[in-house]
Amino acid sequence: MMADNYQLDSGKIYFSEDYLTLETGEGPVTLRIGEWLNTDPVRIHKMIMREKVLQVDQIEVFNPLISKLRRADLSYYKKIMGLKVMIDFPGFSSEIAAKIPYDTDPVGFYKWWRKNKHENVVYLSPAYQFKLFQKVAQIEPKIILKKDLEFLKAF
């Protein structure tokens, strides 16, 4: 299949059986979208979400891509998921989206995230950290760590 050249068509919605040629370290490589999900899921995700040059079918391509990202590059996966990542949070019988306690119990979430060292479980962008620290500083200022107060002042 290497001889064919399936250039990216940004107006097309790609399905898993569609071919796409991408430039790699070894030169141009043509694979089905479904194979690209296994070969380079981070690159495919960036083409869809950041560069907005690749459109894919939500059910057939995008949903499987997210699960492949989790296995391929966990730190990238956590960054893109942010507060949508599922967590075990005290007081809930099953996993919930991190956004739920972040929104409904900022002090509890802060204690869980910062003091129980779960920063590696949920990625919070600086903006989300700012909102969280601000809420905690207003509700229960005694528990906020000095470094987080410094962060608030510097923001």
Q: What is the DSSP string of the chain?
A: -TTS-----TTSEE-TT-EEEEEETTEEEEEEHHHHHHH-HHHHHHHHHTS---EE-IIIIIHHHHHHHHHH-HHHHHHHHGGGSEE--TT-SS-EETHHHHHH-HHHHHIIIIITT-TTTS---HHHHHHHHHHHHHH-GGGS-HHHHHHHHH-
Q: Give the model confidence (pLDDT) of 115-139 as tens digits.
A: 788 888 899 999 999 999 999 999 9
Instruction: Give the phi and the psi of residue 93 in degrees, each rounded to 5.
Output: -75, -20
pTM recorded for the entire structure: 0.75
- Tokens 């790609």 identify what position? 14
Across all residues in the chain, what is the average pLDDT? 93
pLDDT over threshold 80, residue 146: yes
Q: How confident is the model at residue 4 (pLDDT cuts 50, 70, 90)?
A: low
3 pLDDT more than 70: no
* Distance from C-alpha of 91 to C-alpha of 31, rounded to nearest angstrom: 46
List, in order, residues 6 or more apart from 11 with CB less than 8 Å away. Answer: 55
Tell me the pLDDT band of 1, cut-offs 50, 70 and 90. Answer: very low
37: exposed, middle or buried (Cβ count in 10 Å: 0-12, 13-18, 19+): buried
pLDDT at 80 over 70: yes
